[in-house]
């Protein structure tokens, strides 16, 4: 029922919003939550419980009501108590079979006697039957549904900075924010509610001051999802996350009001007093007409005043405490409300349809015989609190159990972390103000802003929390965990079975593992364990409080999802030429250039043929390109590569292999000597960044007289190759093209400074042309244009792979793996063990003394091979055992054979011998070990000085 | 995100850095035994504690030394490498 | 309804005994002391008692049983490894898994889902074929499949993965399964307990006595124990225990993080792994999406969480499954992975006589629990390595004879 | 009206040099050398920025001087950057979305140079003012340039609109 206007109410009565729930139309107001609008319309059953499908309603109205989860289109698991009402919402309760009203799943409630804690561990595991049971379980499990048509949402994320972050905008948080700001701190104040002020009335004056303060940024409707190292706290707003870096953090997160445990304490209409008060104050909703108030602290009587003011009839106050302060007795007395001190609610009684509380049975505490039965449609509970200490735990706070207030409180806070208010064990309004001021001032002082005010906060005289708000009942249904439908006996039974450690009890019973992550169950569960094992709650301890405080949507966590892409200067030209792209790390490289009407294979073969017979051009700009200068440059290179470079002539290049300290091949490239003290060299595409970084580290360690410059992005590079390449280049360059094989020259190409390296990777006369990136596209275009008359084709990675295979050149990472030594890969010739030192040398010396486990060899399939050819990584089989694997294989248009490389066992590597390769369908294919290069074995074509 | 302080570029999110492992001194390959060498190549000081480590600030390619307590993931000190000791 | 549940309804009192006997004090001596009450340690204890008749055994656990990596992993079981040693070892494990629930009379929710290792690059596709061929060689059901098969198994997947990591194919491993991780530790624990093994929780090892190169005893926070055989099965704490006996090892510790979503109705049957996107995912029996990624990039010996982990994992999850934008992540956590240079475990005897090592499990330990327990029990009982673990000795590093599992490194789990 | 203007100034001539001898060599060439690492000075028609300890970026006509033959300990760095100037009232909001560095905390008076990453791309950044508006000069490797520019423009474009209230957005 909607109440008349309440002072400071959050709803806007001029903006009605229509929505649907379970197929029925309702109207609420802007400012309502889904749950408050439904409560106003008299709907008390909002969902069904996870296991037994019992009717459930509001509990906290504070974003913890996981039994009131709803589905709206593609949005699963909306919490009705925290989701703002929007016009046109069409909501359904999650996890019902049929409808919320008629939920076939509710029959499970009748089976609960068969389904004690951990029942699923004790049956259903027959080997043949389990899959069938599992199917049934899977049909029952889960909450909301995912909608496969829901689009990806890219929500922005941002970084934020402040001096003092205050988490919690209640009384103590407001006071902390103000006191820190007044000392000069830039403050961020976060509260998960739509408005500041917390759950207590009386802070409105503070709210005004905070909102007006120039140094306080307020984030309402925002929660701190977790505390991470160095005061890094993600603030989850509705539309984004702000990752806040603070210099100090004040946790003023308050406390969760805790339910009492009695039979049927989960009936709709049974709720926390603070939740009922929220509905009244914020949404002007009267949650019940006639209630019984279950009390055990001063907060209960403050709430009682609210309830009376809202016109709720209070049938009785049942107080767990035998004696209570006279000022608390005064209020019920003044309104002729019967007060049952030292009593408990033995059980709540359901209405005839079972969907709402209809009465309670009251008994003296500790007795099982009811002395009174009262009719009511609401039971409001205020029996105690548990600190919202998740952030404090995550920050590494040491907590202790304060028996005086029956609560865990911070004992030792980490540097720069402060706590105040209820989470700090301070509950009285005036004390919370003081405690907030103290913490805010100390936090500002931590940032070097002013001194920490010496404020003494009085200790609580009256415990706000009852040590044992738990009432056993032989019939059970006294729930400790509403998420997981766990009753008191479930925990007792788990303990009986030996799960008598808080973490084991949690894992076995699943207490606290549901969507509310134990906010309303952990404390009572801990008390049950403490009592059963004769320990104090402090000795039992809490379970680890892991992030997140509330679940966070993946869209928010993902944010935009930056995936940077790297493009060579010729990217657009490749695109225009029909490049089919393949990813190479962050780069995109042309795999081949598509020609309309031709297959992929035909395109690749055509490109290869162009290189063999005419001329081709490939973009090799993704290779790492480094420069090293200085008197010790040659010595440095000799230390990090396996070959020698001191004797390399200026104007010449040499192949380079790099090993790690274990002697494993990790990279290769070409080193060009431009001057005595000046080298330019390449690395693999994938290794570029790591090689540059590692060389820099070696140089930091060795302090040699040389410097390394990374030119990977600054230089464009392309390889022009083929019998007609020289003709293409003639006229475009001032470099004398009669330069010998493996020579390097600096000169001009198309009028821009260039480095030309005579390379043989693809086995034809070829030259790698390196120019500053800004000129790359122009040079490429000029070459393509000049090549037109010679039938030039751009070629991609696949054609290059084929061409190099014909030449027997290996590709690091394809023909090597994470354990390949140079010898295994046939690179012994490059390794100079007679150098004083190189990385990996000592390991290779040890390895050389042991039998070599495998050898990379070239192979050919018989010329008349028919049927499917092996693929890369098909196994070499010898006498039924694995003897190696194929690393590369291709159909060679030049040789008209399948050629490849494979690892084989020692002794199988003699040229002309045969071995078997097993295909995926288990047929064996015979291959003959062949000498490489397969094509132009004497390397005449690439050396040819035409 | 955790903060690492580059001695040159100052405090930054740890995502700007690459970890280079504990600083270990290499035995003289010319005189050490095979076992000593294998120990250097493969074995690590894997227990929690304060370690001297290589870290690299990636945007500036600055290698430096961080003393870090690996049990608590707390960076105690960072400085440029000046040799062993 | 299985008849076994009937007795719950018919009994007045909960008719279940304690699973684990409480022992108030340690005995002065045991035949075997097992350090670490996780799945591995408890499994070794179980097989020592069951198969070798050695029951004067105690398991020392610093915290609570199954509280380490046993209770922190993402519960994936598979045998699609790369090396013959690895494949045969894990294949035996998968075989043991099949009967474990019967052996324990405890439902482990061993659920055969099928496992897809997605390949986004031709290099990954090559590795997939390599693994498939080695697997098939040992009779294991693995096959390289095309994107269309992936699409059929997970019809909602975006095969282009947001446009930047298109799925070219996958290694399909039919036996891939998940199981309830905690229950595995409890099952082994109960089975060992029933056979006389003592499990001591909250018992921390402070030192190990070695006399003349042989194990002599163990010092704990609850007193000293004499023993000639110690099995170390402590995952992330392995280097610390090895320091106690002066053994150097290549093990280094990096955290491995994971997270779960709120429960949603089951929609994902198979287990999916993407090396390029650093994602692995399955949906639990509770309806939660259980998600993991890759190791944290630097050494840490704590189980702290970082925020970059759920950020990047969520971004990659949405690349694969854009429609999960509104699904919420409920909880994240971390374990300490004890890594080795070749990404294979270290098992067997050590230079200290009577000290047996079961470590270096990195991110693969859970799936190996049964076979590891069985082979380590054999090794301890006979002081000789079981044939299935001879390839995993500590001396392989000294000999530069690494196992080569690193070739499959990028895929994990 | 765009909240942020992004201008491509890649065509400005620039050159770089690094090494232990670089500072002295530049001084010998007659260039003013910023004393502290990661600071910059303006020079005739451009600027000179010290990138970290011993690397320098010179932009403007004076960059031609760096063509002189390098001395001992001086290593020329070919600069082929994509260079951008981003300016506008809401620049801080843009930066907050792409970079974890607190630019507001840097006093522009100290002439800071920031080597960091933005949207995953390595950049050199200099906070400045352009006609009374907050501005930032940015340099990145030109192979990342196209993606980086496009991403900046996208993020900036969305800043023009306040973040929409989207009820299909998150709710708890």
- Is B14 a domain residue? yes
Residues of B in contact with C62 (CB under 8 A): none
pLDDT for the residue C412: 43
- pLDDT recorded at residue C10: 79
**pLDDT score at A112:** 81
Kindly compute the dihedral angle of the four CA atoms of residues C208, C212, C215, C219, in this order, to the nearest 10 degrees.
Answer: -30
Helix (H) or strand (E) holding A701: helix A688-702
More confident residue, A147 or A138: A147
A818 contact C CB<8A: yes
CATH 2.40.30.110 segments of chain A: 850-946
Interface residue D37 vs chain B (CB under 8 A): yes
Residue D169 lies inside a defined structural domain of this protein: no
Give the pLDDT confidence score for residue A945 in this predicted structure: 59
* Inter-chain CB proximity C297 and B72 less than 8 Å: no
**Closest Cβ–Cβ partner in B12, B13, B62 for D52:** B62
What value does the mean pLDDT take over residues A700-710? 97
Alpha helix stretches (DSSP H) within A290-386: 298-309, 326-334
Q: Which residue of C has its CA nearest to B19?
A: C298
The beta-strand segments (E) located in A586-695 are: 587-593, 616-619, 624-629, 653-659, 665-675, 678-683
**Same domain membership, residue D144 and residue D100:** yes
Query: Cβ of D78 under 8 Å from any chain A Cβ?
Result: yes
Q: Is the pLDDT of residue C3 over 80?
A: no
Q: Identify whether the C-beta of residue A590 lies closer than 8 Å to the C-beta of residue A796.
A: yes
As a 3-state breakdown, chain A gives helix, strand, coil percent values, each rounded to 5, of 25, 30, 45
Question: Chain D, 149-168: which have a CB under 8 Å from a chain C CB?
Answer: 168
Chain B interface, best mutation among C298, C302, C361, by max B CB count within 10 A: C298
Chain B interface includes D110 (CB < 8 A): no
Over residues D147-160, the mean pLDDT reads 92
Pick the CATH number of A850-946 from 3.90.1150.10, 3.40.50.300, 2.40.30.110, 3.65.10.10: 2.40.30.110
- Closest-CA distance of chain D to residue B67, Å: 21
Asked if residue B85 is part of any domain, the answer here is no
CA distance to partner chain A, nearest, from residue D57 (Å): 14
pLDDT of residue C407: 60
CATH of the domain at B75: 3.30.2270.10
Q: How many domains does chain B have?
A: 1
Sign of the dihedral defined by the CA atoms of residues A246, A249, A254, A256, in that order: positive
What residue ranges of chain A are covered by domains with CATH 3.10.20.440? Answer: 1-153
- Cα–Cα distances in Å, from A431 out to A44, A170, A476, A848, A903? 36, 13, 40, 77, 77
Contact criterion met (CB < 8 Å) for D80 and A773: yes
Looking at the domain assignment, is residue D115 inside a domain? Answer: yes
Query: Which of B32, B56, B58, B78 to mutate against chain A (most A CBs within 10 Å)?
Result: B56
Chain D partners of C328 at a C-beta cutoff of 8 Å?
A: 170, 172
Helix (H) / strand (E) element for C140: namely none
Per-residue pLDDT, A117: 85
**Mutation target among B4, B15, B57, B59 for the D interface, most CBs of D within 10 A:** B59
Q: Both D155 and D94 in a single domain?
A: yes
Name the token pair of A712: 């990977």
Determine, yes or no, domain membership for B70: yes
Sort out which chain C residues have CB atoms less than 8 A from D170's CB and list them. Answer: 326, 328
Domain boundary (D25, D60, D77) is at: D77
From the list D37, D53, D116, the residue facing B59 with the nearest CB is: D116
* Residue D73 placed within a domain: yes
**Which of D77, D95, D126 delimits the end of a domain?**
D77
Mean pLDDT, rounded, for A229-248: 97
Q: Pick from A74, A95, A558: which is nearest to C314 by CB?
A: A558
Q: How far does the CA of residue C73 sit from the closest CA of chain B (Å)?
A: 21
Query: Band of the pLDDT at C12, cuts 50, 70, 90?
Result: confident
Bond into A548 cis (ω within 30):
yes
pLDDT in tens, C187-234: 999 999 999 999 999 999 999 999 999 999 999 999 999 999 999 999
Interface check D51 vs B, CB under 8 A? yes
| Chain B residues with beta carbon closer than 8 angstroms to that of D123 | 59
A662 to chain B, any CB pair closer than 8 A? The answer is yes
pLDDT band at A944 (very low <50, low <70, confident <90, very high): low
Distance from CA of D133 to the nearest CA of A (A): 21
- How far are the Cα atoms of A300, A314, A348, A368, A611 from residue A372, in angstroms, in the given order? 21, 15, 12, 12, 99
Question: Which residues in C lie closer than 8 A to residue B44 (C-beta atoms)?
Answer: 239, 249-252
Q: Which residues of A touch C9 (CB under 8 A)?
A: 113-114
Q: Which fold has domain A622-712?
A: Alpha-Beta Plaits (3.30.70)
Q: Does residue D49 lie in a domain region? A: yes
Pick among B29, B43, B52 to test the A interface (most A CBs inside 10 A)? B29
Fold classification of A478-545 (topology level)? Arc Repressor Mutant, subunit A (1.10.10)
- Residue B13: domain span: 3-79
Of the pLDDT bands very low, low, confident and very high (cuts 50, 70, 90), residue D170 is: very low
Identify the band that residue D172 occupies on the pLDDT scale cut at 50, 70 and 90: very low
Q: How far is B63 from chain C (nearest CA, A)?
A: 15
> CA dihedral in degrees (B7, B10, B11, B16; nearest 10)?
-80
The model's pLDDT over A563-609, given as tens digits with 9 standing for 90+, comes to 999 999 999 999 999 999 999 999 999 999 999 999 999 999 999 99
Rounded to whole angstroms, the Cα distance separating C365 from C385 reads: 19
Verify that D67 and D98 share a domain, yes or no. no
Q: Please report the domains of chain C, with CATH numbers, ordered by start residue.
A: 24-73+182-251+342-408 (3.50.50.60), 112-175+252-339 (3.30.9.10)
Residues 6 or more apart in contact with residue C63 via CB below 8 angstroms:
A503, C201, C202
For the record, the structure tokens of B33 come out as 């035994």
pLDDT at position D164 is 45
> What is the rounded CA–CA span in Å between residue A871 and residue D141?
38
Give the one of C9, C14, C285 whose C-beta lies nearest to A137's C-beta: C285
**Nearest residue of chain D to residue B6 (CA atoms):** D52
Q: How far away is chain D from the Cα of A838, in angstroms, using its nearest Cα?
A: 24
Query: Based on the domain organization, do D88 and D71 belong to the same domain?
Result: no
Q: Which residues of A touch B32 (CB under 8 A)?
A: 842
Instruction: Tell me the mean pLDDT in the region A705-718.
Output: 98
Fold of A1-153: Ubiquitin-like (UB roll) (3.10.20)
User: Does one domain contain both D153 and D99?
Assistant: yes
Which one, of A253, A230, A183, A211, lies nearest residue A438 by Cα?
Answer: A183
Are D95 and D150 in a shared domain? Answer: yes
Asked if residue B84 belongs to a domain, the reply is: no
Site from C96, C178, C265, C399 to mutate, A interface, most A CB atoms within 10 angstroms? C265
D55 in a structural domain: yes
* A213: Cα within 13 Å, side-chain hemisphere: 26
Whether the per-residue pLDDT at A793 is higher than 90: the answer is yes
Give the separation between CA C260 and CA C290, rounded to whole angstroms. 5
Ranges of CATH 3.50.50.60 domains, chain A:
157-256+386-446, 259-383
* Residue A334 CA: distances (Å) to CA of A304, A318, A378: 12, 16, 21
For the residues A794-805, what does the mean pLDDT come to? 98
Q: For residue range A6-41, what is the model confidence (pLDDT) as tens digits?
A: 999 999 999 999 999 999 999 999 999 999 999 999
Interacting residues of C208 by C-beta distance below 8 A, sequence separation 6+: C215, C217, C218, C219, C230, C241, C244, C245, C355
Q: Are A406 and A387 a contacting pair, CB within 8 Å?
A: no
Cα separation, A56 vs A47, whole angstroms: 5
CB contact under 8 A, A701 and B29: no
Is residue D86 located within the same domain as residue D103?
yes
What's the number of CA atoms in the CB half-sphere (13 Å) around residue C343? 18
User: How far away is chain C from the Cα of D77, in angstroms, using its nearest Cα?
Assistant: 30
C265 upstream amide cis, omega within 30 of 0: no
With beta carbons less than 8 A apart as the criterion, state whether B38 and A846 touch: yes
Provide, as residue numbers in chain A, all residues whose Cβ is less than 8 Å from the Cβ of D120. 562-564
Cα–Cα distance for residue pair C342/C407, rounded to 1 Å: 9
Residue A615 · residue A722 · CB < 8 Å? yes
Pairing of strands C177-178, C76-77: antiparallel
State the span(s) of chain A assigned CATH 1.10.10: 478-545
Chains that contact B by 3+ CB pairs under 8 Å? A, C, D
Is residue D87 located within the same domain as residue D155? Answer: yes
With both helix axes pointing from N to C terminus, report the angle between C181-194 and C369-382 in degrees, rounded to the nearest 10. 30
DSSP summary character for residue C38: S
Residue D107: domain span: 5-10+81-159
Backbone Cα Rg of chain D: 18
Closest CA to A427 of A391, A389, A384, A470: A384
A467 CB within 8 Å of a chain C CB: no
Kindly list the distances between the CA atom of residue A474 and the CA atoms of A53, A347, A361, A481, in Å, as whole numbers in the listed order: 21, 11, 14, 18
**Does CATH number 3.60.10.10 belong to domain A157-256+386-446?**
no
Q: Of the candidates C101, C154, C15, C155, which has an alpha carbon nearest to the alpha carbon of residue A133?
A: C101
pLDDT of A344 above 50: yes
The edge-to-edge listing of strands for the beta sheet with A270-272 is A270-272, A378-382, A290-295, A313-319, A339-341
- Measured between CA atoms, the residue of chain B closest to residue A228 is B1
Residue from B42, D161, A946, A183 nearest C251 by CA = B42
- C129, containing H or E segment: helix C122-137
In this model, does residue A714 exceed pLDDT 60? yes
Asked if residue B15 belongs to a domain, the reply is: yes
Helix (H, G, I), strand (E, B) or coil at C390: helix
Structure tokens at C234: 């402590």
Q: Is B48 on the interface with C (CB under 8 A)?
A: yes
For the stretch D87-144, pLDDT in tens is 999 999 999 999 999 998 887 788 999 999 999 999 999 998 877 889 999 999 999 9
Residue among A942, A454, A890 nearest A722 (CA)? A942
Clarify whether residues D85 and D154 are in a common domain. yes
Residue D97 shares a structural domain with residue D144: yes
D120 touches chain B (CB under 8 A): no
Between residues C324 and A130, the one the model is more confident about: C324
Mean pLDDT of C370-375: 98
Q: How far apart are CA A919 and CA A865, in angstroms?
A: 14
CB pairs under 8 A between A and D: 128
Cβ contact A681:A656 at 8 Å: yes
Is B14's Cβ below 8 Å from some Cβ in D? no
Instruction: Please check whether residues D101 and D153 belong to one and the same domain.
Output: yes
Cβ contact (<8 Å) for A709 and D18? yes
Q: For C370-397, what is the mean pLDDT?
A: 97
Burial of C163 (0-12, 13-18, 19+ CB in 10 A): exposed
Overall domain count for chain D: 2
Q: What is the pLDDT of residues A466-511, one digit of tens each?
A: 999 999 999 999 999 999 999 999 999 999 999 999 999 999 999 9
Per-residue confidence (pLDDT) for residue C4, from 0 to 100: 75
8 Å CB contact between A37 and A19: yes
Residue whose tokens read 């050629």: A899
Question: Residue D171: inside a domain, yes or no?
Answer: no
In three-state secondary structure terms, D111 is coil
Q: Kindly report the CATH number that applies to the domain delimited by A259-383.
A: 3.50.50.60
Please tell me the distance in Å from A235's CA to the nearest CA on chain C. Answer: 11
B41 contacts A661? CB cut-off 8 A = yes
């Amino acid at each position: 029922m909607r109440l008349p206007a309440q002072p400071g109410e959050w709803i806007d009565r001029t903006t009605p919003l229509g929505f649907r729930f379970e197929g029925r139309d309702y109207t609420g107001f802007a400012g309502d939550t889904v749950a408050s609008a439904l409560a106003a319309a008299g709907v008390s059953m909002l969902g069904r419980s996870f296991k037994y499908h019992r009717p459930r309603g509001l509990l906290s109205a504070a974003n913890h009501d996981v039994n009131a989860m709803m589905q709206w289109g593609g949005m699963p698991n909306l919490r009705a108590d925290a989701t703002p009402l929007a016009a046109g919402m069409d909501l359904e309760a999650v996890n019902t079979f049929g409808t919320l009203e008629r939920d076939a799943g509710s029959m499970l409630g009748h089976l609960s006697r068969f389904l004690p804690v951990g029942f699923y561990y004790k049956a259903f595991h027959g080997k043949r039957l389990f899959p069938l049971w599992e199917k049934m379980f899977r049909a029952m499990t889960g909450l909301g549904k995912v909608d496969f048509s829901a689009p990806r949402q890219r929500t922005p994320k941002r970084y934020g900075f402040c001096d003092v972050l205050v988490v919690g905008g209640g009384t103590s948080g407001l006071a902390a924010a103000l006191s820190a700001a007044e000392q000069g701190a830039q403050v961020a104040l976060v509260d998960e509610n739509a408005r500041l002020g917390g759950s207590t009335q009386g802070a409105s004056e503070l709210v005004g001051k905070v909102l007006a303060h120039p140094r306080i940024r307020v984030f309402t409707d925002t929660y701190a999802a977790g505390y991470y190292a160095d005061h890094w706290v993600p603030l989850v707003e509705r539309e984004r996350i702000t990752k806040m870096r603070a210099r100090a953090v004040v946790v003023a997160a308050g406390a969760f009001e805790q339910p009492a445990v009695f039979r049927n304490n989960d009936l709709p209409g049974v709720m926390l007093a603070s939740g009922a008060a929220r509905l009244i104050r914020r949404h002007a909703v009267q949650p019940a007409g006639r209630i019984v108030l279950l009390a055990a602290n001063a907060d209960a009587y403050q709430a009682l005043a609210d309830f009376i003011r809202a016109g709720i009839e209070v049938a009785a106050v049942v107080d767990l405490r035998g004696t209570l302060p006279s000022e608390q007795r005064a209020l019920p007395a003044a309104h002729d409300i019967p007060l049952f001190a030292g009593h408990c609610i033995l059980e709540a009684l359901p209405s005839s349809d079972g969907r709402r509380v209809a009465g309670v049975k009251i008994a003296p505490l500790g007795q099982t015989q009811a002395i009174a039965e009262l009719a009511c449609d609401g039971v409001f509970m205020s029996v105690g609190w548990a600190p919202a200490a998740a952030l404090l735990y995550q920050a590494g706070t040491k907590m202790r159990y304060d028996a005086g207030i029956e609560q865990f409180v911070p004992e030792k806070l980490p540097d720069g972390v402060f706590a105040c208010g209820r989470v700090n064990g301070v509950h009285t309004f005036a004390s919370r103000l003081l405690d907030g001021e103290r913490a805010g001032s100390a936090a500002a002082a931590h940032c070097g802003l002013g001194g920490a005010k010496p404020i003494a906060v009085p200790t609580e005289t009256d415990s706000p929390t009852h040590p044992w708000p738990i009432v056993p009942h032989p019939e059970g249904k006294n729930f400790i965990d509403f998420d997981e439908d766990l009753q008191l006996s479930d925990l007792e039974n788990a303990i009986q079975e030996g799960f008598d450690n808080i973490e084991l009890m949690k894992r076995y019973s699943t207490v606290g593992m549901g969507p509310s992550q134990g906010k309303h169950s952990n404390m009572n569960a801990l008390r049950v364990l403490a009592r059963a094992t004769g320990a104090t709650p402090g000795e039992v301890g809490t379970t680890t409080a892991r992030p997140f405080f509330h679940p966070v949507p993946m869209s928010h966590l993902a944010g935009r999802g930056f995936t940077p892409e790297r493009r060579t200067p010729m990217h657009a030209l490749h695109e225009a030429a029909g490049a089919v792209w393949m990813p190479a790390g962050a780069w995109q490289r042309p795999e081949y250039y598509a020609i309309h009407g031709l297959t992929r294979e035909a395109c690749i073969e055509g490109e290869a043929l162009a290189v063999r017979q005419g001329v081709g051009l490939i973009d090799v700009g993704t290779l790492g390109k480094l420069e090293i200068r200085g008197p010790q440059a040659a010595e440095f290179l000799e230390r990090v590569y396996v070959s020698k470079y001191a004797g390399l002539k200026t104007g010449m290049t040499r192949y380079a292999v790099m090993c790690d300290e274990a002697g494993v091949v990790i990279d290769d490239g070409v080193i060009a000597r431009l001057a005595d003290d000046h080298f330019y060299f390449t690395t693999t595409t994938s290794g570029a960044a790591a090689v540059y970084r590692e060389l820099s580290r070696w140089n930091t360690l060795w302090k040699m007289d040389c410097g390394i410059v990374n030119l990977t992005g600054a230089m464009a590079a392309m390889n022009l190759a083929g019998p007609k390449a020289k003709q293409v280049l003639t006229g475009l360059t001032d470099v004398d093209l009669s330069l010998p094989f493996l020579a390097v020259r600096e000169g001009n190409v198309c009028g821009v400074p260039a480095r030309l390296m005579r390379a043989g990777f693809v086995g034809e006369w070829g030259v790698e042309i390196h120019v500053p990136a800004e000129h790359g596209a122009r040079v490429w275009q000029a070459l393509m244009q000049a090549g037109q008359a010679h039938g030039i084709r751009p070629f991609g990675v696949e054609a290059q792979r084929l061409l190099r295979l014909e030449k027997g050149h290996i590709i690091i990472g394809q023909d090597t793996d994470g354990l390949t030594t140079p010898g295994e890969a046939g690179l012994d010739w490059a390794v100079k063990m007679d150098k004083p030192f190189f990385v990996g040398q000592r390991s290779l010396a040890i390895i050389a003394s042991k039998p070599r486990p495998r050898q990379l060899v070239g192979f050919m399939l018989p010329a008349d091979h028919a049927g499917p050819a092996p693929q890369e990584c098909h196994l070499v089989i010898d006498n039924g055992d694995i003897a190696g694997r194929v690393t590369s294989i291709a159909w060679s248009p030049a040789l008209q054979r399948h050629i490849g490389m494979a690892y084989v066992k020692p002794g199988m590597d003699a040229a002309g011998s045969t071995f078997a390769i097993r295909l995926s369908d288990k047929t064996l294919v015979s291959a003959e070990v062949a000498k490489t290069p397969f094509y132009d074995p004497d390397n005449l074509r690439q050396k040819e000085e035409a | 995100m955790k903060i690492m302080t580059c001695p040159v570029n100052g405090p930054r999110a740890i995502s700007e850095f690459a970890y280079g492992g504990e600083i270990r001194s290499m035995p003289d390959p010319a005189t050490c035994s095979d076992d000593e060498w294998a120990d250097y190549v493969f074995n690590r000081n894997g227990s929690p504690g304060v370690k001297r480590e290589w870290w690299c600030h990636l945007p500036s390619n600055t290698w430096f030394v961080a003393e870090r307590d690996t049990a608590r993931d707390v960076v105690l000190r960072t400085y440029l490498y000046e040799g062993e000791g | 309804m299985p008849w076994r549940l009937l007795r719950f309804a018919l009994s007045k009192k909960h008719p279940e005994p304690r699973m684990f006997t409480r022992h108030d004090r340690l005995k002065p001596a045991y035949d075997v002391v097992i350090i670490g009450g996780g799945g591995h340690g408890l499994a070794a204890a179980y097989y020592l008692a069951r198969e070798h008749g050695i029951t004067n055994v105690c398991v020392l656990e610093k915290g609570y049983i199954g509280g380490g990596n046993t209770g922190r992993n993402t519960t994936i079981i598979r045998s699609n490894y790369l090396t013959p040693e690895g494949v045969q070892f894990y294949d035996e494990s998968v075989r043991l898994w099949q009967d474990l629930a019967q052996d324990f009379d405890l439902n482990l929710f061993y659920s055969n889902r099928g496992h897809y290792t997605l390949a986004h690059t031709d290099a990954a596709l090559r590795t997939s074929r390599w693994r498939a061929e080695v697997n098939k060689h040992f009779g294991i059901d693995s096959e390289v499949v095309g994107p269309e098969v992936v699409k059929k198994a997970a019809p909602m997947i975006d095969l282009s993965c947001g446009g930047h990591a298109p799925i070219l194919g996958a290694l399909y491993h039919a036996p891939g399964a998940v199981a309830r991780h905690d229950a595995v530790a409890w099952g082994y624990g109960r089975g060992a307990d029933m056979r006389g093994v003592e499990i001591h929780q909250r018992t921390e090892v402070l030192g190990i006595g070695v006399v003349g190169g042989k194990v002599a005893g163990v010092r704990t926070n609850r007193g000293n124990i004499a023993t000639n055989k110690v099995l170390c099965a402590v995952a992330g704490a392995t280097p610390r225990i090895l320091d106690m006996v002066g053994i150097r090892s290549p093990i280094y510790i990096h955290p491995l993080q994971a997270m779960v979503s709120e429960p949603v109705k089951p929609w994902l049957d198979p287990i999916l792994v993407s090396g390029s996107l650093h994602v692995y995912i399955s949906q639990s029996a509770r309806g939660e999406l259980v998600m993991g990624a890759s190791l944290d990039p630097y050494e840490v010996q704590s189980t702290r969480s970082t925020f970059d982990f759920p950020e990047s994992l969520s971004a990659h999850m949405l690349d694969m499954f854009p429609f999960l934008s509104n699904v919420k992540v409920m909880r994240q956590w971390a374990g300490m992975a004890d890594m080795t240079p070749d990404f294979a475990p270290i098992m067997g005897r050590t230079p200290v006589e009577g000290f047996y090592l079961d470590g270096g499990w990195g991110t693969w330990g859970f799936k190996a629990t049964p076979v590891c327990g069985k082979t380590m029990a054999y090794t301890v009982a006979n002081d000789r390595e079981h044939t299935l673990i001879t390839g995993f000795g500590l001396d392989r590093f000294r000999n530069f004879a690494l196992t080569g599992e690193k070739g499959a490194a990028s895929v994990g789990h | 009206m765009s909240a942020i203007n992004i201008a491509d100034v890649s065509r400005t001539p620039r050159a770089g040099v690094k090494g232990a001898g670089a500072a002295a060599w530049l001084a010998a060439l007659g260039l003013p050398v910023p004393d502290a690492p990661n600071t910059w000075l303006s020079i005739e028609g451009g600027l000179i920025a010290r990138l970290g300890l011993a690397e320098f970026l010179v932009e403007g006509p004076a960059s031609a001087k760096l063509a002189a033959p390098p001395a001992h300990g001086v290593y020329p760095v070919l600069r082929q950057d994509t260079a951008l100037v981003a300016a506008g009232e809401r620049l801080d909001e843009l930066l907050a979305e792409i970079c974890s560095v607190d630019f507001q905390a840097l006093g522009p008076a100290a002439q800071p140079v920031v080597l960091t990453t933005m949207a995953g791309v390595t950049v050199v950044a200099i906070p400045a003012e352009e006609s009374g508006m907050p501005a930032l000069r940015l340099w990145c490797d030109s192979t990342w340039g196209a993606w980086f520019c496009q991403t900046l423009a996208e993020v900036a474009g969305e800043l023009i609109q306040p973040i929409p209230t989207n009820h299909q957005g998150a709710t708890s």
